[in-house]
A and B are shown apart, each in its own frame.
Chain A
Amino acid sequence: MSGARERLAAEQAALLRALLAGGQPPAGFDEIALQVEADALLAKRRRVVAQLAPEVADKLEERYRPLFDEYARAHPRTVGSRAREDAAAFREWLIAGGHVAEPQRRWWRRT
């Protein structure tokens, strides 16, 4: 059983690395299907953050999607992270990268 867990762990980790963190496509997978899956996971994450931080999505307008995707690819969700933390980290990333000005008064609510 421990052998089965180890083999499965390696397979699943390689797949998630490819889908979420720019890892090499694992052997044997259809590369188009991998791209479709990666896009679907990214779209879901983008949608969740837009729901949790609507003011950020509204402020960025059409820049939201490309900026979020750039952030998300560089910062895959790790085990134990929460969606609210993801939204907060995206806000910080936007400020750190100069994509939005640091507000005088915070235009988001800290959670």
Chain B
Amino acid sequence: MGELGVGIGWRSEIDLTVERMPGIDFVEVVAENIHHDSLPESLRVLLDRGVPVLPHAVSLSLGGADPVDGARLDHLAAVTDALGAPMASDHVCFVRAGGLDSGHLMPVPRTRDALDVLTANVKTAQAALGVPLALENIAALLRWPDEELTEAQFLSELVERTGCMLLVDVANMWANGRNLGQDPADLLDGLPLDRIAYVHVAGGVERDGVYHDTHAHPVPPGVLDVLRELCSRVRPPGVLLERDDLYPTDAALLAELDAIRGVLAATA
């Protein structure tokens, strides 16, 4: 896996902004938002320029008890292929269960049962994709009772059993620190940092004492602190800023990317 650099999440609402932004080494696109045989023109422009476009899936529900949905997997594989992407990603989470769709990324219980199911689902996904699969740690607002493993143990064992890469989201780590009391340093201590594909950075907002990882607000200093902590231990191949709503000015996005570059430079 080569060096990716500093990137930003491509979204149709900010397509021109991303195209024109200086110093963007790679972008990510939400796989469910595009179709393999009609890629947005803006992504073609970036690809023609040699900018890697990595598909990021949100709906495989790999941590769910149901077998992986073949149509969703085929879609991700086709999009990955159309983008010529060197890897694809989704989350360690479940989205659907019991016939209901939560509409968001839900935490899986860190139990042996859940790890067995997740491992089998990840292997199914890997077999369908022609490229490495990276899996992301999520932000949770609740904890399952009677968990058997820490998040570090759970993710490390997943990596060991499947050979997957990790997409480490430092904003999610920070959110879990705030909301669930899970110290980001403990997770960094226990993860196989040499398996990091790249890192996500995003903003959020605190409401009624709960931090929400909205991707619609500025990146708080605490998230950059976790990035700094990570970079002081390992040089991640890439760091990507995610912004999904309430888009700020181009200057504000550039400033957030500069802050990320600042952390990378200070820890080089």
Contact = CB atoms under 8 A, between A and B. Distances in A.
B142 A9 contact: no
Interface in B85-138: 94, 96-104, 106, 108-109, 111-114, 116-117, 120
A20 interface: yes
Contacts, number: 98
A47 B64 CA distance: 25
A108 B114 CA distance: 43
A7 B141 CA distance: 22
Contact of A12 (B97, B104, B145, B210): B97
A75 to B, nearest CB: 11
Q: How large is the interface on B (under 10, 10 to 19, 20 to 34, 35 or more residues)?
A: 20 to 34
A40 B113 contact: no
A8 interface: yes
Contact of B142 (A14, A16, A36, A76): A36
Contacts of A53: none
Q: Say whether chain A's binding surface is mostly helix, strand, loop, or mixed.
A: helix
Nearest to A80: B101
Interface of A: 1, 3-9, 11-17, 19-21, 27-30, 33-34, 36-37, 40-41, 44-45, 47-48, 76-81
Interface of B: 64-66, 94, 96-104, 106, 108-109, 111-114, 116-117, 120, 141-146, 210, 212, 245
